[in-house]
Amino acid sequence: GVTREYWLSVENSTLAPDGYERVVFTFNGTIPGPAIIADWGDNLIIHVTNNLEHNGTSIHWHGMRQLNNVEYDGVPGVTQCPIAPGESMTYKFQATQYGSTWYHSHFIQQYGDGLLGPLIINGPATADYDKDLGLLFLSDWSHTPACQLWDTARLGAPPTLETGLINGTNTWDCSGSTDAACIGSGKKFETVFEAGKKYRLRIINTAIEGHFQFSIDGHNLTVISNDLVPIVPYETESILVSIAQRYDVLVEANAVADNYWLRAGWVSACSTNSNPANMTGIVRYDNTSTADPTSTGITVGSNCGDEPLSSLVPYLAMNVGNYTEVTQEALSFTFGNYFTWTINSSSLYLNWSDPTTLKIYDNETIFPTDYNLVPIDQADANDEWAIYVIQDNSGIGLSHPIHLHGHDFWIIGQATGVFDLSTSALNLINPPRRDVATLPGNGYLAIAFKKDNPGSWLLHCHIAWHASQGLAMQFVESESEIAATLSDTVAFKDTCAAWDAYTPTE
Ligand code: C2O
């Protein structure tokens, strides 16, 4: 592999993605940020400079394994301190997997205000197509910055997000509005199909709250990968996409009208308060036409889950190996001054100024603790795999997109109801594997992962409010081996020194 170098500037900008002007956060001035593209096996060197005035930041390379490389995972309080305003940090990692993913800020809810961008790793093709159309970002969006919405979100009820963006763009009706910010310059996402060609589209849900059912009127989708894992292709009319999940799909341009709606249908059943019904883009066969399509499409359902497990068969089969223990984790909540999610009765607490990697570097004790910091023992021949079952006991009935850092996980169980070790079947034979899967409301998610990556790894709900409300735990895997994986330069040391010296001014 070669070395590829990128520069990202984290900025305050004023943009009108949907024609409503507001303060946003951007990478290099755009939403989404610039595409980072590499070939499988390449080394990436990415220089991130924080040009925000009043905010720390930290960038996570979602889904990248960071094998023996925890120091560049980008999680404040876990693998580094936030990058202080005016400071830079250089991230270095190898593209150990290939496919479609994204990079995003992992500091509070910043990605909901625009800090996100495509990360594409080219690898061997498992299917043929004529043209790659790149990533299609499906985001929910508000005219009020997410950091302000958080003030109400933390009290419990999810705030209303009034609209959504496809690849950072949409329309908003400003007719009759007296609001000076409503400039009405928004455009819908559009792409052009040439009849007879086959296209690859990389669908990603980059919402902070929303669950999408994606479809293109008049066309079927052939799904070829989930997250960074190629799967045996299957055909469908629409796909359910939870937050942070990716599906690479092939679409044959074999329809007859001039244009069609492409739909990111918001599954309103999955969140009580928002309904950006207008999330559409346009596929044009006739690119001289400016007319809106008249096509009709699927009806969005009420399924808050993932694509069926039986559809997601990994192309390269891998079974779950030896394990000695199934650890059960109960998810619930408490409600004091603020709404807080809990796992086994405690929430994750992150000390931005003293991340786990720094404690390890300084030879400090990290256990025991009274919050969700969980040791994972080193692998031995009888116990190579970690198995966790997360049971939703909250009674709230909301689904949660659960993401694990540092690993792909094998989904060995996912159902509504109560998991029972003696009767609930675990599928250990080539189950789906990916890096985000839904924990069904009032149900459970059982995952397995190989204990092969020493580090401190976050597991969390990718609904931005829930992560901030403590729905997370931190695994410290093979603790005694972590120090040996740290590089000579340990960038987090300088980053923490600069963060300590910085006095927030807002
Ligand atoms: Cu998309 Cu913890 O990350």
Q: What is the pLDDT of residues 253-283, one digit of tens each?
A: 999 999 999 999 999 888 766 666 669 999 9
Q: How far is the CA of 180 from the centre of ligand 1 (A)?
A: 35
pLDDT per residue as tens digits for the range 441-484: 999 999 999 999 999 999 999 999 999 999 999 999 999 999 99
CB atoms within 10 A of CB 230: 19
Least confident window among 125-139, 187-201, 313-327, 358-372:
358-372
Q: How far is the CA of 42 from the centre of ligand 1 (A)?
A: 22
Residue labelled with tokens 């559409």? 280
Q: How far is the CA of 403 from the centre of ligand 1 (A)?
A: 7
Could you tell me if the CB of 246 is within 6 A of ligand 1? no
In 3-state terms, what secondary structure has residue 253?
Answer: coil
Q: Which atom of ligand 1 is nearest to the CA of 458?
A: 2
Q: How far is the CA of 188 from the centre of ligand 1 (A)?
A: 27
Least confident window among 74-83, 226-235, 343-352:
343-352
Q: Sign of torsion, CA 11 12 15 18?
A: positive
Q: Calculate the average pLDDT of the chain.
A: 95
Angle in degrees, CA 36, 37, 42, rounded to 5: 115
Could you tell me if the CB of 466 is within 6 A of ligand 1? no
Average pLDDT over residues 325-351: 94
Q: Which atom of ligand 1 is nearest to the CA of 244?
A: 1
Q: Cis bond leading into 368, ω under 30°?
A: yes
Q: Which atom of ligand 1 is nearest to the CA of 63?
A: 1
Q: How far is the CA of 333 from the centre of ligand 1 (A)?
A: 21
pLDDT of 277 reads: 67
Average pLDDT over residues 342-359: 93
* 505: pLDDT strictly greater than 70: no
pLDDT of 253 reads: 98
Q: What CA–CA distance (Å, rounded) separates 358 from 341?
A: 26
* Gyration radius (Cα) of the chain, Å: 22
Q: Which atom of ligand 1 is nearest to the CA of 467?
A: 2
Could you tell me if the CB of 62 is within 6 A of ligand 1? yes
Q: What CA–CA distance (Å, rounded) separates 313 from 330?
A: 28
Angle in degrees, CA 259, 262, 268, rounded to 5: 145
Q: Please, what CATH class does the domain formed by 327-500 belong to?
A: mainly beta
pLDDT of 178 reads: 96
Q: Which atom of ligand 1 is nearest to the CA of 104?
A: 1
Could you tell me if the CB of 436 is within 6 A of ligand 1? no
Could you tell me if the CB of 491 is within 6 A of ligand 1? no
Share of the chain above pLDDT 90, in %: 91
Q: How far apart, in Å, are the Cα atoms of 24 and each of 50, 205, 386, 421, 506?
A: 14, 19, 40, 47, 17
For residue 480, with 0-12 CB atoms within 10 Å meaning exposed, 13-18 middle and 19 or more buried, which class applies? exposed
Name the band, by pLDDT with cuts 50, 70 and 90, for residue 343: very high
Average pLDDT over residues 126-136: 94
* 159: pLDDT strictly greater than 80: yes
DSSP per residue, 428-448: -SS--EESEEEE-TTEEEEEE
Residue nearest to atom 3 of ligand 1 (CA): 62
144 forms beta bridges with none
Q: How far is the CA of 462 from the centre of ligand 1 (A)?
A: 6
* Order of all β-strands in the sheet with 22-27: 22-27, 3-15, 43-50, 88-94
Q: Sign of torsion, CA 158 162 164 169?
A: negative
CB atoms within 10 A of CB 184: 14
Yes or no: say if 206 and 102 are a contact pair by the CB < 8 Å rule: yes
pLDDT of 367 reads: 83
Q: Residue 491 is inside which H or E element, if any?
A: helix 491-501
pLDDT of 369 reads: 76
CB atoms within 10 A of CB 285: 16
Q: How far is the CA of 106 from the centre of ligand 1 (A)?
A: 7
Q: How far is the CA of 120 from the centre of ligand 1 (A)?
A: 16
pLDDT of 273 reads: 62
Q: Sign of torsion, CA 188 191 196 202?
A: negative
pLDDT per residue as tens digits for the range 394-411: 999 999 999 999 999 999
Instruction: Record the pTM.
Output: 0.97
pLDDT per residue as tens digits for the range 142-151: 999 998 999 9
Q: What CA–CA distance (Å, rounded) separates 312 from 233?
A: 9
Could you tell me whether strands 22-27 and 3-15 are parallel, antiparallel, or unpaired per DSSP bridges?
Answer: antiparallel
Name the band, by pLDDT with cuts 50, 70 and 90, for residue 504: confident
Could you tell me if the CB of 106 is within 6 A of ligand 1? yes
pLDDT of 274 reads: 60
Q: Which atom of ligand 1 is nearest to the CA of 62?
A: 1
**DSSP-derived secondary structure letter, 213:** E
Could you tell me if the CB of 451 is within 6 A of ligand 1? no
For residue 310, with 0-12 CB atoms within 10 Å meaning exposed, 13-18 middle and 19 or more buried, which class applies? exposed
Q: How far is the CA of 474 from the centre of ligand 1 (A)?
A: 13
Average pLDDT over residues 62-76: 98
Residue nearest to atom 1 of ligand 1 (CA): 62
436 forms beta bridges with 403
Q: Cis bond leading into 17, ω under 30°?
A: no
Could you tell me if the CB of 433 is within 6 A of ligand 1? no
Q: Cα-flanking dihedrals φ and ψ of residue 333, to 5°?
A: -150, 165
In 3-state terms, what secondary structure has residue 70?
Answer: helix
In 3-state terms, what secondary structure has residue 497?
Answer: helix
Distance from the Cα of residue 329 to its chain's centroid? 22
Least confident window among 89-103, 156-170, 192-206, 471-485:
156-170
Yes or no: say if 383 and 373 are a contact pair by the CB < 8 Å rule: no
Q: How far is the CA of 142 from the centre of ligand 1 (A)?
A: 20
Could you tell me whether strands 339-343 and 327-335 are parallel, antiparallel, or unpaired per DSSP bridges?
Answer: antiparallel
CB atoms within 10 A of CB 172: 20
Residue labelled with tokens 């092969």? 452
* 222: pLDDT strictly greater than 70: yes
Q: Shortest CA distance to 401 belongs to which of 334, 310, 465, 450?
A: 465
Q: How far is the CA of 32 from the centre of ligand 1 (A)?
A: 16
